[in-house]
Structure 1
Amino acid sequence: MLLSALGFALMSACVKYVSVYGIPVFEIVAARALVSLILSFVDVQRKGISIWGNNRKLLFLRGAVGTMALMCVYYAVTTLPLAEATILQYVHPVFTALLGVLFLKERVQGATMICIVLCLFGLGIMVQPNMATSITAEALPLQSVMIALLGAFGSSIAYVIVRKLSQTEDSSVIIFYFPLVALPTSILLMWNEFVWPSLAITIVLIFVGIFTQIGQYGLTKAMQTQEAGKASGYSYVQIVFSTLLGVVIFNEVPSVWTYLGGGFIVTGALINVFGKKLIPSVFRRV
């Protein structure tokens, strides 16, 4: 999941960068989808399997839900500071764990619950000074916040669908359906708002797709090998990556609250990974 978190953090940084130069959200989605579609198709062909999979209805549903969530996330990234936009995305492990219990009949382990609690506490520390006080110059736009939360909910649904599909589908096929749905959808929504990018911006748009592919690969592999709530809880590390990228690229210097909250988030992620072994051993010693 670390690979997935890093890939998506770099993707978000690229999205924010090209938006500064006037590239609209739907065009960014289309560019990402085009690159991902080509890379996914090549990967499926390399494996010598059918690109259409077995459960086509559920595959298309995953693509549709993922596309909706992606558009919401990209809108948030282009209208909010990178760290805050990422933080708002990462309420989805709570939704994912609950959906995993309801639809996949999974048990939420104690380590995962501790991770979620610590991560939410860390999020509260990071968000509270920036959203509820006058530390920053201006409040975050409500519309952007709500759309970011909608994207987080959509992501949680998509993750649970991926978990279900992983029982019958190859990971490359699951990844392939995402851009297969996203590309025509974003082109239709973009319509006449297309902006010709410069060569440099075109290269960055291509990297949006490449980093997406890296993130999707890591995510799909993680969801195939871990329970839905556990895998998505560990993905909180993306917040740390995004905060660092915000500092380096966009000069968005975080406050001490961001570092403190990030510490809780990393601690929660480590417990989520190693807690299954460590927690029982601790109780055996008591």
Structure 2
Amino acid sequence: MADGEGSAAQRRSDRVISPGLRYIALSSLSFSVMSLLVKLAGRQFPVMELVLARAVVVATLAYALLRRRGGSLRTGALGLLVLRSLVGFAALTCFYFAVVRLPLAEATVIHFTNPVFTALLAVPLLGERLRRREWLLALAGLGGVVLVAQPSFLFGCASPLDSLGVAAALAASVLAALAYVLIRRMRGVDADVIVFFFAAVSVVLALPFTAAHAVIPHGGEWLVLLGIGLATWGGQMGLTLGLQQERAGRATSVGYLQIVFATGWGILVFGDTPEPLAILGAAIIVSATLLLARARPREGEPPPAS
């Protein structure tokens, strides 16, 4: 009887989605809110000013919370922190460049190949392994992204894609994957410290580009900029905590949920009507994400950090 009860408890435990993956799901929701606000604010403000505004808010919040808890920016992982911040900013810059040079659907679907690159990088850099089932689920999720984004180079295009735009989108995907792996390497570093360094480096790098073309916000525009920062902070915290507690390949694959949330915002805010293929893609993404989240680690694989 005891063995039967233990087996039943184990099966129930196997079906529970890990805290790390829950953080990633919440991160996806936060980033989708950020994207919504950026889309609304982008009608008035230059992109780099929005990057600067969000970085200022995030850096301020992360530092304030760190000090309130009695934490310190002193860490033995300074090199990794700076590298992660530089790589993250480069990934963001490449993605924005790709969005400018390519249709948004193409830029998005290419960028969301980063879970595949993350899994590849995690093998030599982290010693992680993905089972065949997890690879298939990750690829299924990517297929769902293609159906939602419906890039013209797959569904019909009158003109060829800009080669620099494609290169930038792929570079953004690889750089984002490297940033995720670097976060995974910093398991023992406070999440607020990681988020603060990324935001602080972004402020320093974005400021020169913003100074010459700044638009002064008025009234409710300040609230929109603040909302971008708050949503970004929530997304960064969720992403950092999730990657510290879950294997990189599985964790970043759950980020596909951001596409589903973005589709929902499009319907609710902009009155977009998704096509049947987009609905099918969203269903595939959700199904693959849930199945991936419930996949058990290999025997002998070290548990995620708490």
**Post-superposition offset of 1:64:** 0.7
Change (3 A) 1:227 1:84: same
Distance in 1, matches of 2:240 and 2:84, equals 12
Q: How many residues were matched structurally?
A: 274
Q: 2:234 aligns with which of 205, 214, 228?
A: 214
The answer (yes or no) to whether the contact 1:125–1:257 under 8 Å persists in 2 is yes
Q: Secondary structure at the match of 1:51?
A: coil
- 1:274 pairs with 2:294: yes
Q: 1:265 aligns with which of 285, 300, 304?
A: 285
What pairs up with 1:34-53 in 2 under 5 angstroms? 34-53=56-75
Range 35-44 or range 81-90, more displaced: 81-90
Compute the TM-score of the two structures, normalised by the length of structure 2: 0.81
Change (3 A) 1:82 1:65: same
Q: Report the counterpart of residue 244 of structure 2 in structure 1.
A: 224
The AA in structure 1 aligned to 2:221 is I
Q: Report the counterpart of residue 280 of structure 1 in structure 2.
A: none
**Post-superposition offset of 1:149:** 3.4
- 1:201 pairs with 2:200: no
**Post-superposition offset of 1:125:** 2.9
What pairs up with 1:180-195 in 2 under 5 angstroms? 180-195=200-215
Change (3 A) 1:240 1:141: farther
Distance in 2, matches of 1:94 and 1:276, equals 19
Q: Secondary structure at the match of 2:274?
A: coil
Distance in 2, matches of 1:268 and 1:147, equals 27
Change (3 A) 1:196 1:141: farther
**Post-superposition offset of 1:227:** 0.5
Q: Report the counterpart of residue 15 of structure 1 in structure 2.
A: 38
What are structure 2's unaligned runs of at least 5 residues? 1-23, 298-306
**Post-superposition offset of 1:94:** 0.4
**1:149-203 per-position Cα deviation (integer Å, ceiling 9, x unaligned):** 332222111100000012x311111111111100010002223011122322221
- 1:102 pairs with 2:130: no
**Post-superposition offset of 1:213:** 0.7
What are structure 1's unaligned runs of at least 5 residues? 278-286
Q: 2:134 aligns with which of 112, 121, 145?
A: 112
- 1:245 pairs with 2:268: no
**Post-superposition offset of 1:255:** 1.5
Distance in 1, matches of 2:43 and 2:91, equals 21
Range 29-38 or range 105-114, more displaced: 105-114
Range 206-215 or range 82-91, more displaced: 82-91
Q: What RMSD, in angstroms, separates the aligned Cα atoms of the two structures?
A: 2.5
Q: Secondary structure at the match of 2:189?
A: coil
Instruction: Give me the identity figure in percent.
Output: 36
Change (3 A) 1:26 1:50: same
Range 142-151 or range 77-86, more displaced: 77-86
**1:260-279 per-position Cα deviation (integer Å, ceiling 9, x unaligned):** 111111111011111228xx
Range 262-271 or range 105-114, more displaced: 105-114
The answer (yes or no) to whether the contact 1:13–1:82 under 8 Å persists in 2 is no
**1:219-273 per-position Cα deviation (integer Å, ceiling 9, x unaligned):** 1111111110010011111110011112222334322111111111111101111
Compute the TM-score of the two structures, normalised by the length of structure 1: 0.86
Distance in 2, matches of 1:12 and 1:144, equals 20
**Post-superposition offset of 1:145:** 5.1
Distance in 1, matches of 2:138 and 2:189, equals 29
The AA in structure 2 aligned to 1:176 is F
The answer (yes or no) to whether the contact 1:24–1:194 under 8 Å persists in 2 is yes
- 1:151 pairs with 2:172: yes
**Post-superposition offset of 1:90:** 1.6
**Post-superposition offset of 1:78:** 7.2
